[in-house]
Structure 1
Amino acid sequence: MKTLLASFLALVTVAWAVTSSSNPAEGASLPWVVRQEALYLTGLWAFSLMSLAIMLATRPAWLERPLGGMDRIYRVHKWAGILAIGFAALHWLVEMSDGVIKSVVGREGRLPKEHEGGFLEVMRDVGEDFGEWAIYALIAMLVLTLWKRLPYRPWRYLHHAMPGLYGMLAIHAAFLAPLDYWTSAIGALLALFIAVGTVSGLRSLSGRIGRGRQVSGDIEAVREQASGLTEVVCRLEDRWRGHRPGQFAFVTFDHIEGAHPFTIACADRGDRHITFQIKALGDYTQGLAARLAAGQPVKIEGPYGRFDYRRGRRKSDQVWIAGGIGVTPFLAWLESLQEAPAEAPVADFYYCTRQRDDDPFVARLESLCAALPTIRLHVVSTDRDRPLTAEALHARHAGERQPEIWFCGPRAFAQSLRSGLRDLGMKRVRFHQEAFEMR
């Protein structure tokens, strides 16, 4: 993700630098030139990243292969949006710096503003106002997004305002960009960003995101596996194209609530039945079992994701680690191998739970792994065992052929293992992790 965003910003920066070097300011003093070019560059960074973020929000399935799955697409979307708002705030601060420069060096050497008159001049004024209002709204949106205590439903409706805010920024960028930009490389990029972002925003406003991958169906069964854990079995229409083990889907049980991503916790048997194991982790999933019943309609969008052990290196040993409800993709993996146990990789599977005796998944995992002799199941129950640590993994799996780790569980747990293994010298370990977060 860091490499992608850095490369994207580098492309914009190079295009800006080429354009700026070919159109040097004449008769302007250095402080005013620096301010002007900083204003243009921060604006370009902010707008290009916002364009990228709104395009990725349309869930482009064709990018799953190069970016590693929809979960990573959404992670890039999230950080592109955060960086865009940060650069927008910096852009506003640079704009406000003219008073400081006046007090230090005076007005002498200031670059003259472009005045074309007529419609263009009117739209410049409109674009300037739009940009300022949009920046205030975006900063407020960022604060609400990072404030995790805000329930998902109101945040979702607020987030629907983003295409409108983007439209305001597009007008700001189009009419306040220097006229000579439009005959240069940066102008071509800017036009591309405006076109892609505008089309993406219109798709969002019209409700067309993911429509081609949506399938209707009915809830066939709802079971409360344990306190706060609900199993939902759905039967889908003929249009369902099936799924690969480890994939997820956006599920809509309630049109007002909207879609939520859940991992598909079963193998594809070709009968259009899919199962979700849903843990009560937020305001929506609390009490979900009481709100669902057999026969209710459901809409599924997907499948998405590339969390698949078969993408790993063939000769590497595998370590699978599941934390709590993160076991769901592994359930699908194990189920898919039951009919072809010879295809199972050699893997150590660590399932981490708080209380083994009360966990409904333990017996299921033991049954599935019993038919797969190359999968060694280790149930780590923190009420009786020491928690799984990087030190324990290092002691068991360090060697010339370092393992490939597939992890699904709490983010803090993953970070602890990753950093710990790195500190212990296992820097060449490939650590695959589901990274899906809606906000």
Structure 2
Amino acid sequence: MGNRVIIAVPAVNLVLWLVFLPDDDGTRTNFARQVTGEFVGSTMVLLFATSLLLATRARWLEPHFGGLDKMYRAHKRAGLAGFLLIAVHFALVPLNTAAVKPGTPAGMIAGVGIFVLVLLTVAPRIPVARRFALTYDRWRSSHRFIGVFFIVALAHSLLVDALVTTTVVPLAVLIAAYAIGILSYLYTLLLARFFRRTRRYVVQSVRRLNGTTVEVGLRPRKKKRMAFTAGQFLFVRFKSRGALRRSHPFTISSSPKEEVLRLTIKASGDFTRQLYESLAEGTRATLVGCYGMFDYKRGGPRQIWVAGGIGVTPFLSWIRDLDHEDPLRHRVDFFYTVRHPADAVFLEEIEDVARRHPNLRAHIVYSSRGGSLTAEKIAAASGGLSGADVYMCGPSKMTATLARRFRRIGVPSASIHYEEFNFR
């Protein structure tokens, strides 16, 4: 439902501007052009306010998007849509060079600032811009300034001679959007840490499973453990030097019933590389969460689980939880694909659990030997996909490709579930 609301925002705003059209006093030679430009600008503000609201990680919003990972995807899409409207707004609103209003410089600063920060966000996905991409840690620090430029945009709206001030309803909506966006930004920046569910842990063990993957065992510093559902993720920061001091999301790979909370992490960026190389036992950690609605128990009796690389973590949590629950009631084919045998972590444990639970069949796929895993191969190995719910976690390119192919061979979109762990 949440995504539908976001899609409806520009349409509803357009209706309001058409019904409550600003007054034309006859003194503006480009009235239609300015009305269009201001409508685009107000829509841009609504989208950025939505993006800032979603960035709060508000728990009451999560069910409407199907999990925090989907909320972040909606956050990015709303921000990107607003980003694309910046240039349209500047192109449409006529600039009177003979009498520049006080708000004009503020608008230029806000527009250029937001444009640059969003461009840095999408840079890793644009081949020609990848060399300008920031590390995750630096990007995260710079990304916080979007709220500052949003406040500067409010100054722009207040100080220019805008037509929207002559029509009550669009003006009220615009003011409400600014209020929601600014309050959301200030909450995220200053207050969220006091309201989010936080637990204090300490690193009990650090097991390096291969050349890139490490399992971190955490035990609570007090008796109260972090409550979570198998397959959820949390944010963790360590009392250490450098990047480890910053909060970072990881899916929990242990069962909720275990005394020690386990995270299985692959070194793929500055934070994770430093964690792999230098995290030591005894380091204190602060955990925030938990989040996510990736839960096979909500699905039907026939299921397909697909893990790609480190995307195995939520499935590890599900599998490890089996020994603490009743026997698996669903009939599951679990496909775990990695490039080389050395990349497969906890393989013996997975196969051992599958032997003890007849309803769970494990399929280990090495792409270097037999090629990439495809929807057709999954259908053939599992005996067909009719009536099956599909759960996927792995690289975004893999999950997107498989989801597209699953739909083409008849799996309904409502039966395809996945978790995204790319928060950039």
Q: Same fold (TM over 0.5)?
A: yes
Q: Which residue of 2 aligns with 1:73?
A: 71
Q: Which residue of 1 aligns with 2:205?
A: 221
AA aligned to 2:52 is I
TM-score (norm 1): 0.86
Does the 8 Å CA contact 1:337/1:344 hold for their aligned counterparts?
no
Alpha-carbon separation, structure 2, partners of 1:3 and 1:369:
40
**Among 336, 344, 351, which residue is 2:321 paired with?**
336
- After superposition, residues 363-378 of structure 1 pair within 5 angstroms as 363-378=348-363
Does the 8 Å CA contact 1:220/1:234 hold for their aligned counterparts?
yes
- Superposed displacement of residue 402, structure 1: 3.2
Q: Which residue of 2 aligns with 1:242?
A: 227
- Residues 405, 85 of structure 1: alpha-carbon distance in 2 compared, 3 angstrom cutoff: same
Q: Which residue of 2 aligns with 1:11?
A: 12
- 404-413 vs 165-174, which moves further: 165-174
Gaps of 5+ in 2: 125-132
- Residues 234, 177 of structure 1: alpha-carbon distance in 2 compared, 3 angstrom cutoff: farther
**Among 288, 295, 310, which residue is 2:297 paired with?**
310
Alpha-carbon separation, structure 2, partners of 1:395 and 1:15:
53
Q: Which residue of 2 aligns with 1:167?
A: 151
- Superposed displacement of residue 92, structure 1: 0.9
- After superposition, residues 99-178 of structure 1 pair within 5 angstroms as 125-148=101-124, 149-176=133-160, 178=162
Does the 8 Å CA contact 2:328/2:359 hold for their aligned counterparts?
no
Does the 8 Å CA contact 2:198/2:289 hold for their aligned counterparts?
yes
TM-score (norm 2): 0.88
**Among 341, 348, 353, which residue is 2:338 paired with?**
353
1:154-204 deviation line (CA, Å, top 9, x unaligned): 212211212211111122234447476576332332222122112112223
Does the 8 Å CA contact 1:248/1:261 hold for their aligned counterparts?
yes
**RMSD, aligned α-carbons:** 2.7
- Superposed displacement of residue 232, structure 1: 0.5
**Among 378, 388, 391, which residue is 1:393 paired with?**
378
Q: Which residue of 2 aligns with 1:121?
A: none
- Superposed displacement of residue 255, structure 1: 7.0
Could you say what secondary structure the match of 2:373 adopts?
A: coil
- Residues 365, 177 of structure 1: alpha-carbon distance in 2 compared, 3 angstrom cutoff: farther
Alpha-carbon separation, structure 1, partners of 2:196 and 2:223:
14
Alpha-carbon separation, structure 2, partners of 1:412 and 1:74:
17
**Number of aligned residues:** 411
Q: Which residue of 1 aligns with 2:390?
A: 405
- After superposition, residues 293-308 of structure 1 pair within 5 angstroms as 293-308=280-295
1:122-179 deviation line (CA, Å, top 9, x unaligned): xx94432211111111111122222234211221221121221111112223444747
Could you say what secondary structure the match of 1:243 adopts?
A: coil
- Superposed displacement of residue 399, structure 1: 6.2
- Superposed displacement of residue 290, structure 1: 2.6
Matched, 1:430 2:415: yes
**Among 229, 249, 259, which residue is 1:261 paired with?**
249
Q: Which residue of 2 aligns with 1:116?
A: none
Could you say what secondary structure the match of 1:360 adopts?
A: coil
Does the 8 Å CA contact 2:255/2:320 hold for their aligned counterparts?
yes
Could you say what secondary structure the match of 1:293 adopts?
A: coil
- Pair member with larger Rg: 1
Q: Which residue of 2 aligns with 1:55?
A: 53
Alpha-carbon separation, structure 1, partners of 2:324 and 2:75:
38
- Residues 207, 27 of structure 1: alpha-carbon distance in 2 compared, 3 angstrom cutoff: closer
1:261-312 deviation line (CA, Å, top 9, x unaligned): 10000111263x3110000111221242331111111111101111101222
- Superposed displacement of residue 2, structure 1: 5.5
